[in-house]
Structure 1
Amino acid sequence: MSHVKLIDIDKHYGGYHALRSINLSVDKGEFIVMVGPSGCGKSTTLKTIAGLESISSGEIWINGRNVTRKEPGDRGIAMVFQSYALYPHMTVAENMGFGLKMAKRPQIEIDAAVKRAADILRISDQLDKRPKQLSGGQRQRVAIGRAITRAPEVFLFDEPLSNLDAALRTQMRVELSTLHQQLGSTMIYVTHDQVEAMTMASRIIVFNKGIIEQEGAPLSLYHNPANQFVAGFLGAPRINFVNAKLVSLRDGIAEVALEGGGTTVRVPVGEVGDLKAESHLTLGIRPESLKIGRSTEDVAISLDGKVRLVEQLGRETILYVDAGPLATIGSESGTRNFTVQLGNATGFSAGEQIKLSASTSSLYLFGPDGRTLSRPKPIIASL
């Protein structure tokens, strides 16, 4: 039986339809991460589970109980917010034990719960301090510790790492994943950072405009996106998109012409519906799939470009390459760039002319409605 279950959840704010028929089942012990752009409905969904937002219709079940109309304190959940929400006049120990104190639990039980949580989070030496004496990472540990002391059925996290610097975010990602393994608890985590989602989740839920676009294991969603939105959201650097038109469709093979480049690519496709000649399509190429020069594999696309910017990151090099009309198309930002992700290659400089290629095993094809028509591997291109 599902530990958390959302059934046909709708949420309206006046005339704004924030959540549209959300159905989601979370098994006990899962680490679920909800991702999506700002305003997509992920935080609203989390708050409806917590009882901080009422729903317009639908049902919410936690551990076999219908909690749709229950108060937050009666749902068996604990929530960690983006802001630490610590009481400045209380010590760390008092902050962590406050929920149990309000529940009128015996002091010996409160002390034991605080000690256990502090040991897990390695802040036992901070219990007598006040929040202003702590670093950002320590304050976030205290907020998490306050949740642990309540021994909730479900942990809810609303972008808890967004106020931390990059190095500390990386450290806290590891610590939260370790905490999940130690406690074996059900955790539902909201973030706009797809790197957090890819590295922490046992299952990712991708939201967009109040609906769930796709859910699944991180690598499954990365390699097998259901549509162009999911493909574009997951992956850093972002996937390259190029506009195309359908030339012909025969025996499961779509021949498409790339706009602005005169290149034709033949791609095997699955179910395409009523796709017709001249239909507008989009070709997708992950940055790590673009190679410098001609690959030894069958080449689907080969193009010349000029390096606009080089980012040397030590373990990898990112190139932004002006490829003319091809790169202008399919870019929401209006730039003329193809993004290329290499290993620890060096020696590239702005203004350098290079040749890019992509193999026949690395292309995605998306239909006019954004639905994925073909995942790697397509077949040889006509250049």
Structure 2
Amino acid sequence: MSSVELRKVDKHYAGYHALRAIDLTIEKGEFVVMVGPSGCGKSTLLKTIAGLETINSGQVVINGRDVTKEEPGDRGIAMVFQSYALYPHMTVAENMGFGLRMAKRPKAEIDAAVKRAAQILRLEEQLDKRPKQLSGGQRQRVAIGRAITRSPEVFLFDEPLSNLDAALRTQMRVELSSLHAQLGSTMIYVTHDQVEAMTMADRIVVLNKGQIEQVGSPLELYANPANIFVAGFLGAPRMNFVEMKVETAEATGVKLATAGMPTLAMNGIDGTKLSIGDTVTVGIRPEHLHVVESAGAGLTCFPGQVRLVEHLGRETVLYLDASPLQTTNSDSGTGNFTIQLNKISPASVGSRLSIGFEIGNAYVFGPDGRTLTPKKPVVLT
């Protein structure tokens, strides 16, 4: 039996359509992360599962039970918010046991639940302290502990790490993943941070404008995005996009052309879906671009001038002007390209470089934005 199921869920705010016919099944024990830009509906969808938002149509089913009309406290869920929402006058133990006290559970049961949660979250020595005496990471662990003590069927997390600094976010990502492995509970997690999504999720749900664009494992979505939106959203730095024209279109492949780059012969693409003269988009991830010293076999090359260099220690990120290429990486439509090199590069601002890529690493998106490239294998090396 699935743990959470959403069936044709629709949500309106006056004239604004926040969720559009959402269909989603989450299996027991899964860690599912919902991502998308601001306003895409991810937090609204989480609150819909929690019962904090009333839907206009559709069903919310938890462990086979239709909870669409049930109150949040009756749904068997526990939610951890972006703000810690701890009571400052209560100790850590009192904060963690608050939900059980409100449910009038026996003191022995509350103490046992708090002790167990404290052991899981390594908070045993903090139980007598008050929130102001804790670090940000410890406060967030207390908020998670308050959820654990309730033994919910489903954990819901609404951007719980966004208030933490970079080092604490990394630490808490590891701790939440370990917590999921230890508890084996169903967890649904909302974030705008794709690193959190890629590192923590069993499956990622990518949302845009109130609808689901794609659902799949992190590596599957990264290797085989369903459309140009998913391709551009997952990956940092983001994928480079170049507009090209269809020169020939056959069932076995297409040829694409644009000023500033050699003609691309893309095999394996069904050209019967295209017409000569159509504008398509070619995507190339920054890590698939190379600085080419001399023309190499199997590489498609084009020139560019360095605009900015970011030395990040183990890697270098170059930002190039590759005009007259018409990229869609910025509103200006100029030839801005991003390259990610897994080494220290001597390139400097103003340098002119030759950039190359293997044509098998390129993606083609049709005029409607859908991926035309055949599926690429997901390889773990």
Report TM bin, short chain. Answer: over 0.9
Q: Which amino acid aligns with 1:337?
A: N
Q: Which amino acid aligns with 2:7?
A: I
> What residue is the counterpart of 1:163 in the other structure?
163
Q: Please, which moves more after superposition, 53-62 or 126-135?
A: 126-135
Q: Which amino acid aligns with 1:332?
A: S
Q: Which amino acid aligns with 2:327?
A: I
> What residue is the counterpart of 1:380 in the other structure?
none
Residues of 2 paired with 1:323 and 1:271: CA distance? 29
Deviation at 1:316, TM superposition (A): 1.1
Deviation at 1:373, TM superposition (A): 0.7
Do residues 118 (structure 1) and 118 (structure 2) align?
A: yes
Verify the 8 A CA contact 2:252 2:271 in the aligned structure 1: no
Q: Which amino acid aligns with 2:48?
A: T
Verify the 8 A CA contact 1:297 1:359 in the aligned structure 2: no
> What residue is the counterpart of 2:306 in the other structure?
307
Deviation at 1:28, TM superposition (A): 0.4
Verify the 8 A CA contact 1:84 1:143 in the aligned structure 2: yes
Do residues 227 (structure 1) and 242 (structure 2) align?
A: no
Q: Secondary structure at the match of 1:263?
A: strand
Identity %, equivalent residues:
66
Q: Please, which moves more after superposition, 89-98 or 245-254?
A: 245-254
Residues of 2 paired with 1:205 and 1:99: CA distance? 30
Q: Which amino acid aligns with 1:194?
A: Q
Q: Which amino acid aligns with 1:331?
A: N
> What residue is the counterpart of 2:290 in the other structure?
291
| Alpha-carbon RMSD | 1.4
Residues of 2 paired with 1:113 and 1:149: CA distance? 5
Verify the 8 A CA contact 1:365 1:375 in the aligned structure 2: no
Do residues 323 (structure 1) and 322 (structure 2) align?
A: yes
> What residue is the counterpart of 1:268 in the other structure?
267
Q: Please, which moves more after superposition, 314-323 or 232-241?
A: 314-323
Do residues 256 (structure 1) and 217 (structure 2) align?
A: no
Q: Which amino acid aligns with 2:362?
A: L
Verify the 8 A CA contact 1:309 1:320 in the aligned structure 2: yes
Q: Are residues 295 and 119 of structure 1, via their aligned partners in 2, closer, same or farther at CA, if it must alter by over 3 Å?
A: farther
> What residue is the counterpart of 2:150 in the other structure?
150
> What residue is the counterpart of 2:207 in the other structure?
207
Residues of 1 paired with 2:271 and 2:112: CA distance? 61
Q: Secondary structure at the match of 1:324?
A: coil
Matched residues, number: 374
Unaligned runs of 5+ in 2: 377-381
What's the CA shift string for 1:146-178, capped at 9, x where partnerless? 000000000000000011111110110000000
Q: Which amino acid aligns with 2:223?
A: H
Deviation at 1:306, TM superposition (A): 1.3
Q: Are residues 351 and 2 of structure 1, via their aligned partners in 2, closer, same or farther at CA, if it must alter by over 3 Å?
A: same
Q: Secondary structure at the match of 1:372?
A: coil
Residues of 1 paired with 2:270 and 2:213: CA distance? 19
> What residue is the counterpart of 1:381 in the other structure?
none
What's the CA shift string for 1:180-223, capped at 9, x where partnerless? 00000000000011111000000000001111000001000000
Residues of 2 paired with 1:79 and 1:295: CA distance? 56
Residues of 2 paired with 1:296 and 1:28: CA distance? 50
TM-score, normalised via structure 2 length: 0.95
> What residue is the counterpart of 1:277 in the other structure?
276
Residues of 2 paired with 1:358 and 1:344: CA distance? 17
Residues of 2 paired with 1:274 and 1:308: CA distance? 38
Q: Secondary structure at the match of 2:2?
A: coil
> What residue is the counterpart of 2:330 in the other structure?
332
> What residue is the counterpart of 1:75 in the other structure?
75
Q: Which amino acid aligns with 1:133?
A: Q
Deviation at 1:333, TM superposition (A): 4.0
What's the CA shift string for 1:57-95, capped at 9, x where partnerless? 000110111100000000000000011111111111111
Q: Are residues 280 and 131 of structure 1, via their aligned partners in 2, closer, same or farther at CA, if it must alter by over 3 Å?
A: same
Verify the 8 A CA contact 2:247 2:254 in the aligned structure 1: yes
Matches within 5 A, 1:26-105: 26-105=26-105
Q: Are residues 304 and 233 of structure 1, via their aligned partners in 2, closer, same or farther at CA, if it must alter by over 3 Å?
A: same
Poorly superposed stretches of 4+, deviation over 6 Å: none
Q: Please, which moves more after superposition, 144-153 or 335-344?
A: 335-344
Q: Secondary structure at the match of 2:310?
A: strand
Unaligned runs of 5+ in 1: 378-383
Residues of 1 paired with 2:367 and 2:27: CA distance? 35
Residues of 1 paired with 2:375 and 2:301: CA distance? 17
TM-score, normalised via structure 1 length: 0.95
Q: Are residues 204 and 135 of structure 1, via their aligned partners in 2, closer, same or farther at CA, if it must alter by over 3 Å?
A: same
Q: Which amino acid aligns with 1:254?
A: V
